Amino acid sequence: MRKRVLAASVLLAVAAVFFLPFRQVLAFEKGGQVAAYIPISQGDTFAIRYTHSIHRSEVEETYQVLADGTIEQIALTYEDTAVGMPANAESRETFTFRDGKYYITGMERKFPSIWLSVGRVIANHRVVYQGKTVTLKTVIPPGSIVCIKVTRLSLFQCWKGVKLFG
């Protein structure tokens, strides 16, 4: 009887290790399934970099992960104030121009998730994290719509998804 209880306990412990969500990640979900992820912690920052479809210059949106799992946009960097880009900052934000680029800092725009259509041709969406860059279309088919959000994954889910860095 003890052997059966011990075996069942071991089986439950192994199942818990594999199937209980424990690792906090920035997940890129396609169709409700994790297509890729970045192990991430509270306070970490990441950026989405892309080529603007109209004026064909680089744009970088910088985000920070908050304690409650919210994603907060904290900065925006771009080269043109043309269509689709702000010409000034909102209240409590700072707008500067230096070295040929516009910077908006001090942003406090909070999102539970970010929806992104991975560019097919021009956008070339990239994720920047800890000084490293990954082109999204190398792991997510171009034209896909992904939901970017902070969540927890189990070991099993981590094995199924693509770890973007490391």
Q: Which domain holds residue 60?
A: 22-163
The verdict on residue 121 lying in a domain is yes
pLDDT of amino acid 126:
96
- Is residue 147 very low, low, confident or very high in pLDDT (cuts 50, 70, 90)? very high
- Is residue 155 very low, low, confident or very high in pLDDT (cuts 50, 70, 90)? confident
Q: What is the DSSP string of 34-103?
A: EEEEEE--TT-EEEEEEE-TTT--EEEEEEEE-TTS-EEEEEEEES--STTS-SS--TT-EEEEETTEEE
The verdict on residue 114 lying in a domain is yes
* Nearest C-alpha neighbor of 68 from the set 113, 127, 36, 133: 113
Q: Domain total for the chain?
A: 1
Rounded distance, CA 64 to CA 75, Å?
10
How does pLDDT run across 15-33, given as a tens digit for each residue?
666 667 778 999 999 998 8
- Is residue 10 very low, low, confident or very high in pLDDT (cuts 50, 70, 90)? low
How does pLDDT run across 70-129, given as a tens digit for each residue?
999 999 999 988 777 888 888 899 999 999 999 999 999 999 999 999 998 889 999 999
The verdict on residue 65 lying in a domain is yes
pTM of this structure: 0.86
Q: For 77, list phi and psi in degrees, rounded to 5.
A: -125, 135
The verdict on residue 13 lying in a domain is no
The verdict on residue 10 lying in a domain is no
The verdict on residue 91 lying in a domain is yes
The verdict on residue 74 lying in a domain is yes
The verdict on residue 56 lying in a domain is yes
